[in-house]
Chain A
Amino acid sequence: MQQRWGLPIVAWPSRLRPSFWDGIALPLVIGLIMLIAWASQQMSVPFQPGQSLEISLDPMELPAYALRTVLRMVAALGASLVFSLGYAAIAAKSKRAEKLLIPILDILQSVPILGFLSITVTGFIALFPGSLLGYECAAIFAIFTSQAWNMTFSLYQSFIAVPHDLREASRMLHLSPWQSFWRLEVPFALPQLTWNMMMSVSGGWFFVVASEAISVNNNQVLLPGIGSYISVAIDHRDLWAVGYAIIAMLVLILIYDQLLFRPLLAWGQRFKFEELGEEEIETPWFLMMIQRARFFHLMGLGVEASARWVSRASSRLPRPTRRPQAAPRHRALADGIWSGFLVLLALGALVEIADFVRAEVGWSEVLHVVLLGLLTLVRVVVLIALAALVWVPIGIWIGLRPRVARRVQPIIQFLAAFPANLFFPVVVSAIVVYHLNPEIWLSPLMILGTQWYILFNVIAGTMALPTDYQLVAGNLGVRNILWWRRLALPGIFPAFVTGAVTASGGSWNAAIVAEVAKWGDTTLQATGIGSYIAAMTEAGDFPRIALGVTVLALYVLLVNRLLWRRLYNLAEERLRLD
């Protein structure tokens, strides 16, 4: 990046002398480089389809597996970052591109993430024949899809919200487009982006675990990692190994929280645009190390020098002279042609899809899948309602007690990040032992990991309620049911909707994993679109995977449009607190 982020602008006179923090930083960095080198070498080992990779259940192997899992996560995050910067920048800069790119993003967001895995894996394998890298890429791509859309939306929204006066100021200062992108737009978007990135990574653990076991044409490839470890443990009915994996994951998330989450959030504070809220966030030790160790300082200087070179080069580029713009009529005509082109493109695609469906699957299959989707829809709705019934009162109770809230919040954040699929085997073995009905009892798995978003948001919403309201309510003697109806529920509604949207989106995604569960050679199945996609993936039936994924995506899109967006608008319009 352009500036040596995180370091004060004014240079220190003694900046080359090593400090105490260097003693910690240097070994850490060198060790990290070696680990990455080793693991990335492992990623591209030769591999033929049909060959099987041995996954050992020895807990001593777990750290190495964990590292491979983390590396996939980091690679996906890097790719998401690059993708979202480019995509959002284009969408924000060009009105015409925006017309196409934003709806596409909206749809991509609704496509189930594991669906991407099923669809793209063959392509990736073909890309790197005879190497494991193809499978690795497919897994990374699946994680990428769980993060990229979200981050892109956040960036796009920030880019178009850059204050007008700052844009004008940067033009008056003659910043080149490249310079103003890095000096204005990206810094402005950073606080929102860091927060979004962190939430995406939290969600990503779920998919990193789920995407390591890849089925292609009836044979399963297990990429070394925690997810594969778990799936081997399930095959062997080894509860101890499941336990080890859960502990390894716990440690992983703790480290991630300490090394990435907290430092990034604290550092992102500085880019906050609002001037109010002098909330002092404690500087996390890792950030302090980066800021204090001279080693990082030197590295920062190097980065800065090269960034400056690029920046200077960009300001030397000839800039287009602003000419009087094309006559409005011509512009309107060009816009019209572009819109017409897009409509034609969409119509063409529609014809193509209808052809495909008729030839490959048949309309009765489509109807069948739609009905399956309806079943899953019922599950999602019931589960969200249940979760709301349970967590809204608890969330409000916690939110009213700031001291409790402060203690509970990190725990909930942690729970939200924890991949719930690690717990599936435990639940499944319980269902088997007690002979429960899988149609009902598998369902809660869908919301196991996502319910926390509701709780988390309700607590935050309650804490944001001005104390004045509570005082007034107390003063007027508003109590019991009236208190809930007139104060608490309307007050937290916007926050609740935000939480419920996230939870419902996550549940749809989890359906593919949650409607089919295995324990050794016992397979439990609930009827629904998720288990349909899972079954078709196992069978390697590409047209039916595509059908299932499309229908699922349409359901998500429809529910978003018809329910969540309306509730969201209602919350925005009527119940906002300012």
Chain B
Amino acid sequence: MDTIAPSNPNHDGNLITAEGISKTYQQPDHAGRLVLDHIDFTLKEGEIVAILGKSGSGKSTFLRVVAGLTPPTEGTVTYRGQPVYRPAQGIAMVFQSFALFPWLTVLGNVELGLEALGVPREERRQRAIAAIDLIGLDGFESAYPKELSGGMRQRVGFARALVVNPDILLLDEPFSALDVLTAETLRGDILDLWLERRVPTKGIIFVSHNIEEAVDIADRIIVFGSDPGCIQAEIQISLPHQRDWTSPAFRRIVDEVYTLLTTVRGREAGRRGSRADTLSLQYRLPDASIQQLVGLLEVLTVDPFNGRADLPHLADSEHLTTDDLVVLAEALQLLGFAQVGGGDIEITVVGRSFADADMLRRKQIFAEQLMRNIGFIAHIRRVLDERPGHAAPEARFLGELEDHLSEEEAGRVLETVINWGRYAELFAYDYDRGVLSLENP
């Protein structure tokens, strides 16, 4: 691996080949945390591949490995037969946050990449202006990014990527910071450029969190599972482009992906049994807010859903993003309030009784479900019960979480645990002292 492999002519028409990619992040205490687990992936010429997955499934990390921004711990990425150790020429990227340089004008931003490649001034200007025209930004050359709307900014992001005539385009949730209407227009424009072959790009890898968006433009969808990130499923989409979002074939694929994303898999739900198991499973609690959980249960019980809803339909009618809905559905399943299958979510008996109860009774049901289903919360309660002062510092539980999760993730999970526990009145929490206790606040 220390020598650069000679150009390999028979790379089987594969633009990108990733073999056995694993990524471990080093923790401060030197324990490694696995975020990507043996991923094999290829991008063929003329293909758009979408990568979907829950937050925390490592899909963005994987894209960065392919881009050469992050080295994998194990495995290799090759681009046209050449190993990728650093950003390779011919691969361009578009960022979720646009990542424009605020002190450069639109033209300056687009020219920057050419400048770095040493393209002469006149040619640089010509090519930049051509790219700006292509993406529909003519007239804005001298504007600064802060003068532009989100959609316009992302157009600059695309122009900047396309101006170097990239072979491969990597898109990291390029539309998710935009409102629905803007995202749709921009997506359509980009797809047109691709379909009409007005850009020399040979392949696109596209990380998304919007299922319909992915089904709309991808030739292939890869669904990432989490903890650690791995390829959970692969779906080939052979529908012709200009796809009809309402057609049964389209809806079927959307439902399929929804099911894959929202089902709490055996691997995560775990076998319930020994104490060690109840402690270790479900460490990564979805950070669903109580208000939203309650709201969603209430909506599910009444007309038009009456206890059962099609997930995409539910997302639409409640104005939830896919990410939000995935998190909520996961939480409802963990708590035993609902079940997910076949792209549908169905409320359980407990869920219904919760929705029907008054505020006090709801808290009781919620507490029972927490104690029954969330091992870590039951564990906290047990510790507090056993301690003479019925109090324990949060640092103790944070430490337990950090054995399994990254520091950031552990903090997030503890926050969710405290929120849920407080709502259920299982324990109290003093922010100033950082102490969990059984006192009434």
Q: Do A and B bind each other?
A: yes
Give the shortest distance, in Å, between A352 (CB) and chain B (any CB): 34
Q: Which A residue sits closest to B160, measured CB to CB?
A: A173
Would A315 and B117 count as touching, CB distance under 8 A?
yes
Would B117 and A174 count as touching, CB distance under 8 A?
yes
Q: Pick the contact of B142: A8, A319, A321 (CB < 8 A).
A: A8
Would B142 and A9 count as touching, CB distance under 8 A?
yes
Would A10 and B142 count as touching, CB distance under 8 A?
yes
**Contact mask for chain A residues 157-190; partner B; CB cutoff 8 A; 1 contact, 0 none:** 0000001011011011111100100011001001
**A325 on the interface (CB 8 Å rule)?**
yes
**Contact mask for chain B residues 1-37; partner A; CB cutoff 8 A; 1 contact, 0 none:** 1101000000000000000000000100010000000
Would B117 and A9 count as touching, CB distance under 8 A?
no
Would A315 and B116 count as touching, CB distance under 8 A?
yes
**B89 on the interface (CB 8 Å rule)?**
yes
Would A179 and B116 count as touching, CB distance under 8 A?
yes
* A272 to B96 Cα, complex, angstroms: 20
Give the shortest distance, in Å, between B432 (CB) and chain A (any CB): 8
Give the shortest distance, in Å, between B273 (CB) and chain A (any CB): 35
Give the shortest distance, in Å, between A394 (CB) and chain B (any CB): 31
**A275 on the interface (CB 8 Å rule)?**
yes
Would A187 and B101 count as touching, CB distance under 8 A?
yes
**B64 on the interface (CB 8 Å rule)?**
yes
**Chain B, interface residues (CB within 8 Å), range:** 35 or more
Give the shortest distance, in Å, between A185 (CB) and chain B (any CB): 11
CB < 8 Å A-B pair total: 94
**A576 on the interface (CB 8 Å rule)?**
no
* A328 to B27 Cα, complex, angstroms: 11
Give the shortest distance, in Å, between B19 (CB) and chain A (any CB): 14
**Contact mask for chain B residues 68-87; partner A; CB cutoff 8 A; 1 contact, 0 none:** 11010000000000000111
**A323 on the interface (CB 8 Å rule)?**
yes
Most chain-A Cβ atoms within 10 A of its Cβ — which of B92, B99, B105, B108?
B99
**B265 on the interface (CB 8 Å rule)?**
no
**B250 on the interface (CB 8 Å rule)?**
no
**B93 on the interface (CB 8 Å rule)?**
yes
User: Which residues of chain A are within 8 angstroms of B102 by Cβ–Cβ distance?
Assistant: 271-273, 275
Would B85 and A166 count as touching, CB distance under 8 A?
no
Given contacts A169-B99, A315-B117, A328-B26, contact A10 B86 (CB under 8 A): no
**Contact mask for chain A residues 74-91; partner B; CB cutoff 8 A; 1 contact, 0 none:** 000000000000000000
- Of residues 287 through 337 on chain A, the ones whose CB sits less than 8 Å from some CB of chain B are 311-312, 315-316, 319, 321-325, 328, 332
Would B92 and A172 count as touching, CB distance under 8 A?
yes
Q: Pick the contact of B101: A8, A174, A183, A311 (CB < 8 A).
A: A183
Q: Pick the contact of B95: A165, A311, A312, A321 (CB < 8 A).
A: A165
User: Which residues of chain A are within 8 angstroms of B26 by Cβ–Cβ distance?
Assistant: 328
**B146 on the interface (CB 8 Å rule)?**
yes
* A439 to B397 Cα, complex, angstroms: 55
User: Which residues of chain A are within 8 angstroms of B144 by Cβ–Cβ distance?
Assistant: 270
- Of residues 1 through 50 on chain A, the ones whose CB sits less than 8 Å from some CB of chain B are 8-10
Give the shortest distance, in Å, between A545 (CB) and chain B (any CB): 43
Would A183 and B112 count as touching, CB distance under 8 A?
yes
Would A168 and B101 count as touching, CB distance under 8 A?
no
User: Which residues of chain B are within 8 angstroms of A184 by Cβ–Cβ distance?
Assistant: 101
User: Which residues of chain B are within 8 angstroms of A321 by Cβ–Cβ distance?
Assistant: 4, 85-86
Given contacts A172-B92, A173-B116, A315-B117, contact A323 B107 (CB under 8 A): no
Would B107 and A322 count as touching, CB distance under 8 A?
no
* A274 to B302 Cα, complex, angstroms: 44
Would A312 and B118 count as touching, CB distance under 8 A?
yes
* A163 to B100 Cα, complex, angstroms: 11
Given contacts A165-B99, A166-B99, A328-B26, contact A322 B112 (CB under 8 A): no
Would A324 and B116 count as touching, CB distance under 8 A?
no
**B113 on the interface (CB 8 Å rule)?**
yes
Q: Pick the contact of A332: B30, B91, B101 (CB < 8 A).
A: B30
**B406 on the interface (CB 8 Å rule)?**
no
Would A175 and B112 count as touching, CB distance under 8 A?
yes
User: Which residues of chain B are within 8 angstroms of A270 by Cβ–Cβ distance?
Assistant: 103, 144
Would B95 and A169 count as touching, CB distance under 8 A?
yes
Most chain-A Cβ atoms within 10 A of its Cβ — which of B100, B102, B141?
B102
Would B71 and A172 count as touching, CB distance under 8 A?
no
**B97 on the interface (CB 8 Å rule)?**
yes
Would B142 and A168 count as touching, CB distance under 8 A?
no
User: Which residues of chain A are within 8 angstroms of B100 by Cβ–Cβ distance?
Assistant: 169
Give the shortest distance, in Å, between A380 (CB) and chain B (any CB): 30
**B424 on the interface (CB 8 Å rule)?**
no
**B67 on the interface (CB 8 Å rule)?**
yes
Would B105 and A323 count as touching, CB distance under 8 A?
no
* A171 to B92 Cα, complex, angstroms: 10
- Of residues 150 through 190 on chain B, the ones whose CB sits less than 8 Å from some CB of chain A are 160
User: Which residues of chain B are within 8 angstroms of A332 by Cβ–Cβ distance?
Assistant: 30
Q: Pick the contact of B146: A163, A183, A275 (CB < 8 A).
A: A275
Q: Which B residue sits closest to A169, measured CB to CB?
A: B99
User: Which residues of chain B are within 8 angstroms of A273 by Cβ–Cβ distance?
Assistant: 102
Given contacts A9-B105, A270-B103, A323-B85, contact A171 B71 (CB under 8 A): no
User: Which residues of chain B are within 8 angstroms of A168 by Cβ–Cβ distance?
Assistant: 64, 67, 69, 93, 95, 99
Would B112 and A315 count as touching, CB distance under 8 A?
no
Q: Which A residue sits closest to B106, measured CB to CB?
A: A9
* A175 to B146 Cα, complex, angstroms: 23
Q: Pick the contact of A174: B2, B85, B116, B142 (CB < 8 A).
A: B116
Would B105 and A10 count as touching, CB distance under 8 A?
yes
Would A325 and B87 count as touching, CB distance under 8 A?
no
**Contact mask for chain A residues 107-146; partner B; CB cutoff 8 A; 1 contact, 0 none:** 0000000000000000000000000000000000000000
Would A322 and B71 count as touching, CB distance under 8 A?
yes
* A172 to B89 Cα, complex, angstroms: 8
* A10 to B102 Cα, complex, angstroms: 16
User: Which residues of chain B are within 8 angstroms of A190 by Cβ–Cβ distance?
Assistant: 103
* A187 to B103 Cα, complex, angstroms: 7
Most chain-A Cβ atoms within 10 A of its Cβ — which of B1, B101, B113?
B101
**Contact mask for chain A residues 246-277; partner B; CB cutoff 8 A; 1 contact, 0 none:** 00000000000000000000000011110100
User: Which residues of chain A are within 8 angstroms of B97 by Cβ–Cβ distance?
Assistant: 163, 165
* A302 to B81 Cα, complex, angstroms: 44
* A578 to B158 Cα, complex, angstroms: 33
Binding site for B on A (CB under 8 A): 8-10, 163, 165-166, 168-169, 171-176, 179, 183-184, 187, 190, 270-273, 275, 311-312, 315-316, 319, 321-325, 328, 332, 574
23 CB < 8 A contacts A-B: A8-B142, A9-B104, A9-B105, A9-B107, A10-B105, A10-B107, A10-B141, A168-B67, A168-B95, A169-B99, A173-B113, A174-B89, A175-B112, A175-B116, A179-B115, A187-B101, A272-B102, A273-B102, A275-B146, A315-B118, A319-B86, A321-B86, A323-B2
Using A10-B105, A10-B141, A169-B93 as known contacts, list a sample of 12 further A-B pairs with CB atoms less than 8 Å apart, ordered by residue number in A. A9-B105, A9-B107, A165-B95, A168-B99, A172-B93, A174-B89, A183-B104, A187-B103, A270-B144, A311-B115, A312-B118, A328-B26
